[in-house]
Amino acid sequence: MIHPSYTELMQVVNSEVEPGDVPVVNSRYSIVMATAKRARQITAGDEPMVEAAKETKPLSIAVDELNQGLIKIIGDEEEEE
């Protein structure tokens, strides 16, 4: 089993959303895309925001960062502004 699960990651990402507002993430696809993008950044040379062993894979590091709330996912509308 994958730890943390998709639902746990969605709860972390949406934890700052006020009740009644639209959640930032409402699908597994959004979680997958965000972690894949961060993993590519780490592979390209960005420093991880969490303490990780040398042999830890970039995707695992990205999932840990997201789970700890260190990565903020923004919607397409916010990116365009």
* DSSP codes joined into one string, the chain: --SS-HHHHHHHHGGGSPTTSPPS--SHHHHHHHHHHHHHHHHTTPPPSS---TT--HHHHHHHHHHTT-S----HHHHH-
Q: Please report the pLDDT score of residue 77 as a whole number.
A: 55
**Domains contained in the chain, CATH given:** 6-80 (3.90.940.10)
Q: What's the rounded mean pLDDT across residues 32-41? A: 92
Q: What's the rounded mean pLDDT across residues 25-39? A: 89
